Amino acid sequence: MTLYFIGLGLCSPQDLSARGLEAAKRCSKVYVELYTSPTPRLRLEDLQALLGKEVKLVGRGDVEGPWAEELIGEAALMDVALLTPGDPFIATTHNALRLEALRRGVRVCTIHAASVASAIPGATGLSFYRFGRAVTLVRPEAGYAPEAAYNVVKENLSRGLHTLLLLDQGVERGEAMSAPQALQTLLEVE
């Protein structure tokens, strides 16, 4: 039996590859997480209609908590898919889940898809080879300023490189960080 990590691509269920679609349809259970990259045009109902089966929405607490153990246990007994926005292993959470499944002897299959990391250079006209380290900018909280993100941007600039700055999606608060908020946050750290 197999645990499938299937990337959904960037925008909608139609971005799912033919291989990903075929694999998800074969699986006994299908889950989708949308917290790593909320995708407004990706509706659960549309995904279920495309696959012709129930798709269960799971959240951050599930993927990073005890449910992950259940998922791996299910994949030891049947084919199970976890669908993710973009490419499955851009988010470190999914890679940790993959490594744990492999450690337990569960077969893993990955079906990659386009992600923001692969799309940004083409969309902006910037050279892929001129990007330095990517970093996530999280919202500042009382007693915490996101200095790590600032330092990565500063280091990349000193080397003449672009930075893919991923912005806090604010899933728990229901409010994604905007570009002006990100700029203000970086200026406050400086």
Higher pLDDT, 130 or 178: 130
What pLDDT, on a 0 to 100 scale, did the predictor assign at position 174? Answer: 67
Cα–Cα distances (Å) from 63 to 5, 90, 134, in that order, read 13, 15, 23
Domain 126-189 coded CATH 3.20.20.80: no
Residue pair 114/10 in contact (Cβ under 8 Å)? The answer is: yes
Q: Smallest Cα–Cα separation from 157: which of 185, 190, 180?
A: 190
- Listed by start position, the domains of the chain span 2-115, 126-189
Choice among 79-83, 141-145, 165-169 with the minimum mean pLDDT: 141-145
**10-63 tens-digit pLDDT:** 878 889 999 999 999 999 999 999 877 777 778 889 999 999 999 999 988 888
pTM of the model: 0.86
**102-154 tens-digit pLDDT:** 999 999 999 999 998 889 999 999 999 999 999 999 888 777 778 999 999 99
Higher pLDDT, 66 or 23: 23
- Distance separating alpha carbons of residues 59 and 172, to the nearest angstrom: 10
- Distance separating alpha carbons of residues 8 and 80, to the nearest angstrom: 15
Q: Smallest Cα–Cα separation from 8: which of 91, 67, 78?
A: 91
What pLDDT, on a 0 to 100 scale, did the predictor assign at position 109? Answer: 98
- CATH no., domain 2-115: 3.40.1010.10
